[in-house]
Structure 1
Amino acid sequence: MAPFAEVIVCEKPKQAQIFQKALNLKKEYKVGKKSYAWYDKEGGTCVFYERGHILELLPPEHYESRLKSGWRVDLLPVIVKGSRWPLRVNLKSGGAAQMFKTAKWALVDCGTPHSITIATDNDREGELLGWELLEHLKLADHSNINRVLYSQVTQKKVVEAYNKKQPGSVTFLRYLAGLARQYADWSVGMNVTMGFSAQNKEQIPPYTPLNSGRVIFGISYILYVRHIDMRDFTPQDYYTHKINFGAGKGSAYSGNLIYPEKYVDPKIGKLTNGNVANKIKQAVLNAGKGKVVRCDKEKKETSPPQGFHRTGFDRHMIRRFGMSLEQIANAMQKLYEAGYITYPRVDLKVLDETMHAEMPSYLKAIIKNLRGANQLSESEKNLYERAFKLLDVKRKSKIWKKGVDDDGSHHAIITTEETVPVNSLTSDEFKVYREIADRLLIQFMPNYEYASTIVETQVAGGLISKTSGTSPLKMGWKGLSKDMEEESDEDEVDGKSLPELTLGQVVDVLGVEMSVQTTKSPNYYTEDELLGVLENPKKFVKNKDIIKKLTKLQIGTDGTRQNHVASLDPKGFVKFVKDGKVKRIVPEKKLISVMEVSPDYLSTPETTAYWESAFDDIEKGKLTLETFIQRFRTLEKRFFDDLKQGKFDLKEPITENARPCKESNENGEPCGGNLFYSKRKNKKTGKSFELWSCARCQASFFNNDGEPGNKLGERGTKGAGEKPEWTPPPNAPKIKCSECKEAYTYHKKLPGKKWSLWECIGCGAAFFDDGGKHGNKMKGK
């Protein structure tokens, strides 16, 4: 075929389908029976998609082949040279080979196209997907590369963006920022994980690496600090005083005493001295009177909260419905890919003011969709009808801001103009759609109006008792939506219950209620609480000067931190424990052990904040990719220098399920290592068996009712595991098995044969002897 005039690179099938329909691309390119590209004619326009990363960085073993036999500190760190690292087709990603074949066909096999348009998601990840493919195919220097930027996967918005496509150079620095993140996370994550695990292999179970990385370490540090706070917590009694006042004619009110700083324990901010508390109570009672020194009554109003950014929305849904991060993420992704909500992985709460003129069509779509929702009760539908009557499309709330679109096409998460088959949505999808729709609706509803009252009464020669309260006047936007981020004041009273008071009025002290309370231990974080801390971890920063230097002090990003939190469980760092309506994140021994020895330069919030700031600087052209690579190389060198000095040696096994090794050396002295339990499978027979293995002496023992039993390879081995089919003779030569990498192969001579074998008692693999070492693997073994 002749080269295409234009090839459009998409990230998702829905994006490609929009171009297919808009540009009338009827011909298909198939790999097997599935279509991956569409075009109109030879030499015309072609579009294809690459769902996710169809390319990946090469594994560490590519650069250091000896790592295939096991991780060793002396082989680390693995250093990849240059500012562009080699890639390969990601075989772990379903369909990657077919998608890469399609991309190569459209961009190379048919000849170099006249123009290339990158239409992937509008973020660093999307930039990375598009540009890394072009660089891998040697097309990054093409003279006519364009970029399409949009925040909604809808026909209207994608076509609008396509008609306004920009030169690819506009976002190329964002690609370099994406490369910086990818390289640093791969290099530091891989090297530190391998080094940390190899150095402490005697303290960790088989196949249980000490997963390391800047975001995982940052989150683990926050959880570890809370663990220490709980461990070291000492309960302490403190005192409060509630004073009841009479204002004449049977009217009364109460207030809480505010203590002067000299009476308060600076560590907990409470009155802890019982003698002082009793003296205060007696002084107030002896005085018998109080004087109103402040009486503020005013009408106030509150505008609706701004739009949702990703972390804010996650927290909202956890608080309101108790949804998990996975449930929220899955529902949002499906709604986004279907074109029903805008791009979800954003850190913005505002909309560009240029979008205001388009809002009538957005509101019309919401009204139509919600009116047809069978998921709503009659009372809920009536509530919406009342709310719809209050909508004012000319209204401008604080969500509107000038210049939001200047750096791309992202903004707060909102619903789109699409008609949604709401009754086909799952329960989670409908909840997500409805909450996002409500947040946009309330931007066009009246403010919430209320009466606010604050009364301060002076007693006992200068002590102040404070009373505050509110009473709603007009519900406005609060009649439809509740702001889950809004905090209530526990000391607040109903404003309507306060009597009419005047400044300077003398009131009677009717009584003093002195209470003794006890400070409560901090609890394990909920998902909601942890997300809030990760978004603003300032109080955990040791170097306070850095707060002034960094524009964005966060652990992770709005698009990534949810996945990192969820990944801690399968990695064995935490367990999620149900506590009433919430789930708490409880650190496991693995996390605690790692944090006890991990260095501040890897674990504290400053590290990930430095990196995120560097990524921003690369995108702005203030920092080069090469300079950043050199920075994390310096960090890696520092880590391995410290590692080899024993600074990160674990003190004990990372799990309670460990036993002292039963093996002894030639002198009869105990091995001193640890045995860890694991399940294995005999590759020859397919049968499973259970072992206890020691990384120090390499001995393995069959499991016997939850405890180490007979040694693997001994004659007459019995236990809960599988009995070996062949037992090696005493003193038979042995070599570590290259198949299972756990048990040993023993030299096996066969009667009447000139050749011999090396056979593994553990996995059953067998190799032909090749001069005292493993040769070719025997088929069927």
Structure 2
Amino acid sequence: MKKTLVIAEKPSVGREIARILQCHQKGNGCFIGPNYITTWALGHLVTLADPEAYDDRYKTWNLTDLPMLPPHMELVVMKETAKQYSIVKNLLRQPDIAEVVIATDAGREGELVARWILKKAGWRKTIKRLWISSQTDRAIQEGFRNLKPGKDFDHLYASAESRAEADWLVGLNVTRALTCKYNAQLSAGRVQTPTLALVVEREKEIKQFIPKDYWTIHATTQGFALTWKDKRSGQNRFVTKATADALIAKLAGQSGEIIDIKKEAKSELPPLAYDLTELQRDANRQYDFSAKKTSSLMQQLYENHKLVTYPRTDSRYITDDMVPTLPERLRSIAVGPYADLARPILKTKITPTKRFVDNAKVTDHHAIIPTEEYVNLGKLSSDERKIYDLIVKRFLAVLSPPFEFEQTTVTASINGELFTAKGKIVKRKGWRYVYDGHGDGHGTMADPVPCDNDQAGAEAEPDQTLPNLQKGSKINIAAVKTQAHKTKPPARYTEATLLSAMEHPGKFIEDQKLREAMGGQIGLGTPATRADIIEKLFSSFYMERKGKEIVPTSKGMQLINLVPAELKSPELTAKWEQQLTEISKGRANKDQFINEIRRYTTQLVTDVAGTNQTFRHDNLSREKCPECGKFLLQVQGKRGELLVCQDRECGYRKSVSMSTNARCPQCKKKMKMIGEGEGKTFTCICGYREKLSAFTKRNEDKKSSMKKREVSKFLQKNNDEGAINTALADALAKLKI
């Protein structure tokens, strides 16, 4: 009897699919059933070959051997996952396997994972595609009833392979060129370099910024405040204090008159549904989660808990055919704190507008929304619960009515000068009630809510409670005072604002035609890759976190000065992403794209080799490398401070201090750990010090929540220096560049 082989992307997904397809017999790296055999990848099992696979001379890094331009890109089995590849290959060669169903993640990279396995194994038979947006039993069953022909996704595969080959050609060649030219661990790539350039350019703007003084004038009367405005320009700033003081003298002792009261009924539409980038932004703003952490938590909610739809989406809309599923999704989340929010929506006829339902704005996947799966909140970890809370509340907000209020603007005249005040009366909280969580939807403004505008919080005239005023009435002025201010430099990027800049880099592109052609749709990287790019820039020591702010290191700033100008502009990757999108839609040719990349790679290597610039390590420590004798570099890693060898071929590294979650018993702040072996010691900025052995014994004696095994686990986690990648290791990782 002929069977179908199903290839999932991960074991966890493979097991779930196997259960639904009645594949109950456990095999070697697979599950076997009467009609299906389900197996899985472990992420990528097959990848592009290392440079040395094409020519022995590439085993050593030499500038004269560049560029590396293999006539055909070869695939190799990854050593780390070779055993699982062998299992999949042998299954593909079984005579009873008649067709393959690709069940990897429904996206560009998921397509590449499966297609490279099939290509390397020499599969020539039928291919079908499971294309679903959630991992619930119902979604999987429905997906298998509606399998799509594999050829429908040939263009998506061509786009994915084009991206991988282009990143190999540009990334590895430029990385080797920079590293050999300057004998330093330097790497570059079409997405990471322009992203770093954004951070470096912002830092330059901040350092070059010269603050300027300005003044505003405010009058207080009858329990509210008025702000002076220029009659002609509407501006409220004075550039000299003398001018402001002169006006204060003119207004001293004067009364005022209400000359206009304007009341407007206004409404504020609900926010758009989440795509991955917007969710990562909100998680960073509210919980200080990194983009990488949010992606990881989302994958857990999607794969393991099956509570949310496909996370790596760039759409914020759903399609018409999903509207009938909305009541069931609402019923599934109507538990705990969400019950009182969901029930009113369920009692009314759900008629979402184009703000949520728009077929034209959904490409591969729709917005992130809850599934129909019943939720047991108690099974979620604290961090999973936070992300789930964001998604559920955004879903409820999108389905809620607009926020309605009455905006009152009062204009007064004081000795001929114009003053204004604003007040707001809430008529109906609408969607904002979701973020307030109590009351009847009327009354004062809700608590702060997520905002799509990264400039939220900019200086503006505040809303206040205004008394009952009449036009023409006189008002007594209690005081008129100036307030001194200084102009502020642009804010440093946080992960939230950097994600925004990566998503919409159009304003950084000088080519107006290209900027207009992009229409805000082409960004640096994709929702699926942006978190990894940001993390790589941290792990390569090109930038570092200072609180929530992102600051470029000296190494990062020097790198941007060393790379060719075109590579650090968002323009290049915008052009690439535009062409990759066209390839995925069958409107552009892969071979033409790769040939263009080859020519461009040659130009980049020539540019690097021809410069006369120098690279200087300005983070040298006084400690020498025990292996090669060169001075070690002091760097700030993800988990703490490190000393790493400046020689790229040596690779020695040593931990100096590690950030921990252990709290100081005196000031309750998080402590660092220094030292090695039995000398490991916790230290705090307040001066407290405690040896690890004493720390462990103290907590054992108190029978606190940190048991001995948790201390051991904590130490194991904090000793995991393998989680920190060097630029050289990253370069050799090829597809991560």
Shorter-chain TM-score bucket reads: 0.7 to 0.9
Distance 2:450 2:51 in 1: 46
- The structural deviation recorded for 1:6 is 2.2
Q: How does 1:53-132 map to 2 (within 5 A)?
A: 53-69=44-60, 71-82=61-72, 85-92=73-80, 96-108=81-93, 110-111=94-95, 113-132=97-116
Distance 1:490 1:435 in 2: 27
Distance 1:51 1:404 in 2: 34
Distance 1:102 1:547 in 2: 48
For the residue of structure 1 that corresponds to 2:587, the secondary structure is coil
- The structural deviation recorded for 1:555 is 1.9
Distance 1:394 1:307 in 2: 19
Q: Which amino acid aligns with 2:137?
A: Q
For the residue of structure 2 that corresponds to 1:395, the secondary structure is coil
* Structure 2 residue ranges without an equivalent (≥5): 436-447, 635-642, 657-737
Residue 320 of structure 1 aligns with which residue? 286
Closer/same/farther in 2, CA of residues 630 and 466 from structure 1, 3 Å limit: farther
The answer to whether residue 340 in structure 2 is matched with residue 385 in structure 1 is yes
The answer to whether residue 31 in structure 2 is matched with residue 38 in structure 1 is yes
- The structural deviation recorded for 1:458 is 5.7
Equivalent in 390, 395, 398 of residue 440 of structure 1: 395
Closer/same/farther in 2, CA of residues 317 and 660 from structure 1, 3 Å limit: closer
Q: Which amino acid aligns with 1:178?
A: A
Alpha-carbon displacement from aligned partner over 1:184-236 (angstroms, at most 9, x marks no partner): 112111111110110001xx3xxxx2121122111110110121112212221
Closer/same/farther in 2, CA of residues 176 and 422 from structure 1, 3 Å limit: same
Alpha-carbon displacement from aligned partner over 1:253-281 (angstroms, at most 9, x marks no partner): 433233478898xxxx9642344434444
Equivalent in 347, 351, 368 of residue 413 of structure 1: 368
Residue 210 of structure 1 aligns with which residue? 186
Distance 1:119 1:553 in 2: 27
For the residue of structure 2 that corresponds to 1:38, the secondary structure is strand
For the residue of structure 1 that corresponds to 2:539, the secondary structure is coil
> Identity rate of aligned residues, in percent?
25
Equivalent in 335, 341, 353 of residue 301 of structure 2: 335
Q: Which amino acid aligns with 1:641?
A: T
Distance 1:197 1:480 in 2: 53
Distance 1:452 1:488 in 2: 19
Whether the aligned pair in 1 keeps the contact of 2:333 and 2:339 (CA below 8 Å) is no
RMSD between superposed Cα atoms in Å: 3.4
Q: Which amino acid aligns with 1:258?
A: K
Residue 541 of structure 2 aligns with which residue? 572
Closer/same/farther in 2, CA of residues 643 and 303 from structure 1, 3 Å limit: closer
The answer to whether residue 242 in structure 2 is matched with residue 258 in structure 1 is no
Closer/same/farther in 2, CA of residues 691 and 227 from structure 1, 3 Å limit: closer
For the residue of structure 2 that corresponds to 1:66, the secondary structure is helix
The answer to whether residue 566 in structure 2 is matched with residue 601 in structure 1 is yes
Equivalent in 393, 399, 407 of residue 452 of structure 1: 407
Residue 592 of structure 1 aligns with which residue? 557
Distance 1:518 1:228 in 2: 19
Distance 2:234 2:135 in 1: 60
Whether the aligned pair in 2 keeps the contact of 1:349 and 1:412 (CA below 8 Å) is yes
Residue 296 of structure 1 aligns with which residue? 262
Residue 525 of structure 2 aligns with which residue? 556
Tell me whether 274-283 or 324-333 shows the greater mean CA deviation.
274-283
Equivalent in 25, 28, 36 of residue 27 of structure 1: 25
Closer/same/farther in 2, CA of residues 320 and 592 from structure 1, 3 Å limit: same
Distance 1:403 1:176 in 2: 25
- The structural deviation recorded for 1:588 is 1.1
Closer/same/farther in 2, CA of residues 515 and 612 from structure 1, 3 Å limit: same
Whether the aligned pair in 2 keeps the contact of 1:285 and 1:512 (CA below 8 Å) is yes
Q: Which has the higher helix share?
A: 2
- The structural deviation recorded for 1:629 is 0.8
For the residue of structure 2 that corresponds to 1:156, the secondary structure is helix
Equivalent in 141, 151, 168 of residue 159 of structure 1: 141
Alpha-carbon displacement from aligned partner over 1:556-599 (angstroms, at most 9, x marks no partner): 22111112112222211122222xxxx22121111011112222
Distance 1:119 1:700 in 2: 39
Q: How does 1:657-668 map to 2 (within 5 A)?
A: 657=621
Q: Which amino acid aligns with 2:330?
A: L
For the residue of structure 2 that corresponds to 1:114, the secondary structure is strand
Residue 235 of structure 1 aligns with which residue? 211
Distance 1:694 1:37 in 2: 45
Whether the aligned pair in 2 keeps the contact of 1:353 and 1:400 (CA below 8 Å) is no
Q: May I ask how many residue pairs the two structures share in their alignment?
A: 625
Residue 577 of structure 2 aligns with which residue? 612
Distance 1:522 1:430 in 2: 34
- The structural deviation recorded for 1:657 is 3.7
Equivalent in 301, 325, 329 of residue 358 of structure 1: 325
Closer/same/farther in 2, CA of residues 624 and 233 from structure 1, 3 Å limit: same
The answer to whether residue 488 in structure 2 is matched with residue 515 in structure 1 is no
Closer/same/farther in 2, CA of residues 5 and 404 from structure 1, 3 Å limit: farther
Whether the aligned pair in 1 keeps the contact of 2:318 and 2:359 (CA below 8 Å) is no
Whether the aligned pair in 2 keeps the contact of 1:593 and 1:650 (CA below 8 Å) is no
Q: Which has the higher contact order (CA 8 A, sep 6+)?
A: 2
- The structural deviation recorded for 1:419 is 2.5
Closer/same/farther in 2, CA of residues 310 and 164 from structure 1, 3 Å limit: same
Q: Which amino acid aligns with 2:39?
A: F
Alpha-carbon displacement from aligned partner over 1:708-744 (angstroms, at most 9, x marks no partner): xxxxxxxxxxxxxxxxxxxxxxxxxxxxxxxxxxxxx
- The structural deviation recorded for 1:692 is 7.7
Closer/same/farther in 2, CA of residues 327 and 261 from structure 1, 3 Å limit: farther
Distance 2:408 2:592 in 1: 58
Q: Which amino acid aligns with 1:652?
A: R
- The structural deviation recorded for 1:638 is 1.6
Closer/same/farther in 2, CA of residues 386 and 537 from structure 1, 3 Å limit: closer
For the residue of structure 1 that corresponds to 2:406, the secondary structure is strand
Whether the aligned pair in 2 keeps the contact of 1:537 and 1:605 (CA below 8 Å) is yes
Q: How does 1:139-154 map to 2 (within 5 A)?
A: 139=123, 142=125, 144-154=126-136
Distance 2:589 2:96 in 1: 30
* TM-score (normalised: structure 2): 0.77
* TM-score (normalised: structure 1): 0.73
Distance 1:494 1:692 in 2: 56
Whether the aligned pair in 1 keeps the contact of 2:194 and 2:569 (CA below 8 Å) is yes
Alpha-carbon displacement from aligned partner over 1:660-695 (angstroms, at most 9, x marks no partner): 99xxxxxxxxxxxx943279xxxxxxxxxx998879
Distance 2:425 2:233 in 1: 35
Distance 1:547 1:692 in 2: 42
The answer to whether residue 119 in structure 2 is matched with residue 135 in structure 1 is yes
For the residue of structure 2 that corresponds to 1:401, the secondary structure is coil
- The structural deviation recorded for 1:532 is 2.1
For the residue of structure 1 that corresponds to 2:343, the secondary structure is helix
Larger radius of gyration: 1
Residue 540 of structure 1 aligns with which residue? 508
Residue 684 of structure 1 aligns with which residue? none
Distance 1:216 1:364 in 2: 43
Alpha-carbon displacement from aligned partner over 1:513-551 (angstroms, at most 9, x marks no partner): 222212234443222222222222333333344311224
Closer/same/farther in 2, CA of residues 321 and 424 from structure 1, 3 Å limit: same
Whether the aligned pair in 1 keeps the contact of 2:170 and 2:597 (CA below 8 Å) is yes
For the residue of structure 1 that corresponds to 2:226, the secondary structure is strand
Residue 500 of structure 1 aligns with which residue? 469
Whether the aligned pair in 2 keeps the contact of 1:448 and 1:478 (CA below 8 Å) is yes
Q: Which amino acid aligns with 1:593?
A: Q
Distance 1:438 1:565 in 2: 27
- The structural deviation recorded for 1:656 is 3.8
- The structural deviation recorded for 1:157 is 0.4
Closer/same/farther in 2, CA of residues 7 and 650 from structure 1, 3 Å limit: same
For the residue of structure 1 that corresponds to 2:566, the secondary structure is helix
Residue 376 of structure 1 aligns with which residue? none
The answer to whether residue 312 in structure 2 is matched with residue 345 in structure 1 is yes
Distance 1:700 1:321 in 2: 35
